[in-house]
Structure 1
Amino acid sequence: MTQTDILQLGSELRTALILKLTALADDELILSHRNSEWVGHAPILEEDIALANLVQDELGHAQVWLSLRAELDGSDPDALAYGRGAGEYRCAQLVELPRGDWAFTLLRQFLFDAYELVWLGAARESTYTPLSQAVQKIIREERFHLQHTRLWVERLGLGTEESRRRTQNALNELWPLCPQLFALLPGEDGLVKAGVLPSPESLFGQWQPLVAAHLEGCGLTLPTVGAREWSRERHTEHLAPMLAEMQEVARWDPSASEW
């Protein structure tokens, strides 16, 4: 299926793809901003630099997804990033939460990295050529991200009693939110049937045992999670104030441009 083909599938699938690309970008954008709050405050200089590089990668990935959306609807990526209110975002609650301590940040990033790498691995087979090509550019960086955060979770879980306790507390808070990453967006099932997107249900079946094995190997206990209906229209109370800070400069002078 070529780019022309996807446009010929009809307005419903086109709208669904725009929504999916927006959600992908919002996850990356919000998480990158949360992690940027560590710059200058990480426990060691080497990790300060490493996390700053990771933040730049995630921000770049957000730009990739919003640029793909722009090809479909002519939208402005900067306006989408800095001009929408909290109710218009489609990020998962997992990425909205305040940065917490170091264990919270690195565990959250590990859970997200594992999800993203599983998604990208399947999306390489997308029948929508612009998407599959974009994935090829991103997936190598995500392999490094997962390798880095995987080692940190191991270090924290198998480290001191204090580090294990903090990591377990983070897992207790974050684990129940993870299923929202795999929640179907409106119209996404049609894109799955068309081969444009991978099946979220199938991806969850890959992700869960992958992360569970590593977490349990790090001495952590998985919380029991009950069934829940998820929607990416539901946000925490933390998103709006975070956006107010992130968008402050752009909203102060919308006409500003880079020299």
Structure 2
Amino acid sequence: MSNNAALKDLIIKMADDELILGHRNSEWTGLGPVMEEDIAFSSMAQDKIGHAWALYRILHEDLGGEHPDRFAFIRSEKAFQSSHLVELPNGEYDFSLMRHFLFDQAETVRYESLQNSSFAPFQLLSKKVKGELKYHTLHADAWIMQLSNAGEESYARMQTALNNTIALAAGIFEASPEHEATLIADKVYPGEKELYHRWQERIYPVLVKSSLNLPDMSTITPVYGGRQGFHTEYLQPLLKEMGEVFNLDTEASW
């Protein structure tokens, strides 16, 4: 079995992405274009934070890490391993929707690969979240296709959102040079390069149905850095906001 350091590295980057994007998605509550979208984004935000908590719990109970709440809310910005994609403000709905589509397809590919992981907690969690991820991707796919076929302006906005987001989304698959080979050799998961290819195969048919043009991926430079603790200017203010209540009394029982 892989050493604890390699497993911890994989768990933290997965959980940090879900925690941060869950918070970003929750910011659409009350602001969505239609009431049903308020409910949808709120529900998916709750799911993502739940996934993050489950991963932090594995870190705590199986690998001797800190309590999930303390780990989520007390760490410094540098200690987070979230990708740049999830840190950015929501912006316009086209950006948030495209981020939702690209991230949730990546998340689905990742959890599918963990169904056969040699690390038993990953197997259990991947089966548990399967239904939620199915809903997330169905929601994202439907809206991408609907808005891309809703007229000239709507199409242009969705294509621009894809062009502006694809390199950030590719950064989800930033590999750890220190731990990647160990995780692959021990059959914990197939590695970031393989997941990156599976993700491209997954998003392509939806983009074709939407008449959106996937940029030439061979020319895309993924936006890396987040996995190594180098973040956007937006992460620190978000962490401060997220931990505001918890840090009033870190020893309290809520």
TM class, shorter-length: over 0.9
Who is 2:231 aligned against? 235
CA distance in 1, matches of 2:195, 2:165: 18
Residue identity over aligned pairs, in percent, reads 37
Gaps of 5+ in 2: none
The partner residue of 1:130 within 113, 121, 132 is 121
Query: Compared with structure 1, are the counterparts of its residues 105 and 228 closer, same or farther at alpha carbon in structure 2 (3 Å cutoff)?
Result: closer
Q: CA deviation at 1:229?
A: 7.7
CA distance in 1, matches of 2:65, 2:76: 20
CA distance in 1, matches of 2:24, 2:127: 26
Matched, 1:28 2:18: yes
Matched, 1:205 2:197: yes
Who is 1:255 aligned against? 251
TM-score for the superposition, normalised by structure 2: 0.92
Who is 1:105 aligned against? 96
Q: CA deviation at 1:168?
A: 1.9
The partner residue of 2:46 within 31, 56, 66 is 56
Contact 2:148 2:158 in 1 (8 A): yes
Q: Deviations over 1:71-105 (max 9, x none)?
A: 20241110111101211110111111111111111
Contact 2:94 2:161 in 1 (8 A): yes
The partner residue of 1:216 within 191, 208, 218 is 208
CA distance in 2, matches of 1:96, 1:53: 19
1:115-154 correspondence to structure 2 within 5 Å:
115-154=106-145
Q: Deviations over 1:142-167 (max 9, x none)?
A: 01110111001011111122222222
Gaps of 5+ in 1: 1-5
The answer to which of 52-61 and 170-179 deviates more is: 170-179
Aligned length: 248
Which amino acid in structure 2 is aligned with residue 41 of structure 1? L
Contact 2:170 2:223 in 1 (8 A): no
TM-score for the superposition, normalised by structure 1: 0.90
CA distance in 2, matches of 1:237, 1:182: 21
Matched, 1:66 2:66: no
Q: Deviations over 1:27-46 (max 9, x none)?
A: 00000000111001111111
CA distance in 1, matches of 2:191, 2:65: 27
Secondary structure of 1:248's counterpart equals coil
Query: Compared with structure 1, are the counterparts of its residues 98 and 228 closer, same or farther at alpha carbon in structure 2 (3 Å cutoff)?
Result: closer
Query: Compared with structure 1, are the counterparts of its residues 151 and 229 closer, same or farther at alpha carbon in structure 2 (3 Å cutoff)?
Result: closer
CA distance in 2, matches of 1:229, 1:145: 24
Which amino acid in structure 2 is aligned with residue 29 of structure 1? L
